[in-house]
Chain A
Amino acid sequence: MIKKITLLTLCSILLTGCSTLTVQNISEAGARVSVRVPDSSKNFVNFIPAGNIHQYYSEYGGSYSVTILPDERYRELLNNLNDEISRRLFEERSTLTASDVSALVQRLNEVNTALTDLDEFSASCSGTMAEDKDSIATIIYDNSANQMTITCN
């Protein structure tokens, strides 16, 4: 009963509309971005070509962050993972032992950690997705630093 009252009270206090985050790439090269939105425990990753946008939605609103990933390293990481799953799970499946399967699950679980590691030295920004408002993150090429940067507002 107390749990239900708490839930109803919190829902009525925090009831919000949908929030949108638009990431626009106005640089002259495509960018691989990793986006953390409030509703998800995992990041979204997309490639945004030069001059394009990508939109992300949040039912609740709250904090978000956007990071530009090093595309070559990202592609290498995921292509290696594809090769490993394809080979071990679909080609060598009859030879897999229970411990091999556990190791493969562990490998899959490490993807999120690897993505976080890629984030570490990359350009990023963060902000708040407000109720019924559009948030915008902009990717530009910083000539002085000779690299892509991103701003959130």
Chain B
Amino acid sequence: MEEQPQKKGHFVRNCFIFIAVVLLLLVGTVTALFFAFQNGYISQRDILGFIGQLPGEISVVNLEESNTNLALTQLDPPPDESPLTDSLTLEPLDVASFTSIPPGRYELTVEGSSANYTCNLQISSNDIYHIFPTTSGTAITRDGYNPQSADEMDMGTSSLCKQ
């Protein structure tokens, strides 16, 4: 009969120890993450990747002999929000990217000396598209996408641009 209060005391003490250890681990993890981030050992991109929330990206390699202008417009912005827009101008042989693109539908326009294109893209988490404006036309691919015909790589005919 006298052991009951003692057992209860043990239980309460163990609970406190458990909570203290969990709190210490949490504070330690957050502090380590903060300092690793502040000192450049990890980026927010790394962390978003770790929890599966990476934004999309469109990389452009301008193989044209003149400038290429690209414009990106969000087609399905959240209610009451303006669509995201961004633009790039690449000089000959420049490489640049649209980065941190939230998943959704986008219109991408490409204006070069060889041709102009309007492309409707569906961008999912961690999608990386590659655009290659050349002197004869513009090629498009996406990481993990295996086209079976030339039409699928030509920005004018690819199903990647008809989302």
Q: Is B74 an interface residue (CB 8 A)?
A: no
> How far, in whole Å, are A60 and B42 apart by their CA atoms in the complex?
11
Residues of B within 8 A of A42 (CB): 57, 59, 95, 97, 128
Which of A14, A78, A90 contacts B44 (CB under 8 A)? A14
Q: Mark A122-133, 1 if CB is under 8 A from B, else 0.
A: 000001110000
Chain B residue contacts of A74, Cβ below 8 A: 93
A34: B residues at CB distance < 8 A: 95
Q: Are B44 and A44 in contact (CB under 8 A)?
A: no
Nearest to B34 among chain A residues (CB) is A13
Q: How far is the CA of A125 from the CA of B147 in the complex (A)?
A: 38
Chain A 18-39 interface 0/1 with B at a Cβ cutoff of 8 Å (1 = within):
0000000000000000100111
A119 adjacent to chain B (CB < 8 Å): no
Whether B96 sits at the interface, judged by CB under 8 Å, is yes
Knowing A13-B34, A46-B91 touch, does A90 contact B97 (C-beta < 8 A)? no
Interface size of B in residues (CB-CB distance below 8 Å) = 46
A147 within 8 A of partner (CB): no
State whether B148 touches A98 (Cβ < 8 A).
Answer: yes
Q: Are B148 and A82 in contact (CB under 8 A)?
A: no
Q: Is B53 an interface residue (CB 8 A)?
A: yes
Would you call B154 and A93 a contact (CB within 8 A)?
yes
Residue A63 lies at the interface, judged by CB distance under 8 Å to chain B: yes
Is the C-beta of A73 less than 8 angstroms from some C-beta in chain B? Answer: no
Cβ-based interface call for A17 (8 A): no
A45 in the interface (beta carbon within 8 A): yes
Range of interface residues on chain A? 35 or more
Q: Does B76 contact A (CB under 8 A)?
A: no
Interface residues of B in 67-84 (CB under 8 A from A): none
Q: How far is the CB of B128 from chain A (nearest CB, A)?
A: 6
Cβ contacts B81-117/A at 8 Å (1 or 0 each)? 0000000000101111101100000000000000000
Contact A108-B141, Cβ < 8 Å, known A39-B45, A93-B150: yes
Of the stretches B2-10, B12-20, B130-138, the one at the interface is B130-138
Shortest CB–CB separation between residue A45 and chain B, in angstroms?
Answer: 4
A43: interface (CB < 8 Å)? yes
* Candidates A43, A60, A108; contact of B45 at CB < 8 Å: A60
Query: B residues engaging A (CB < 8 A)?
Result: 30, 33-34, 37, 39-45, 47, 51-53, 57, 59, 61, 63-64, 91, 93-97, 99-100, 128, 130, 132, 134-137, 139, 141, 146-154
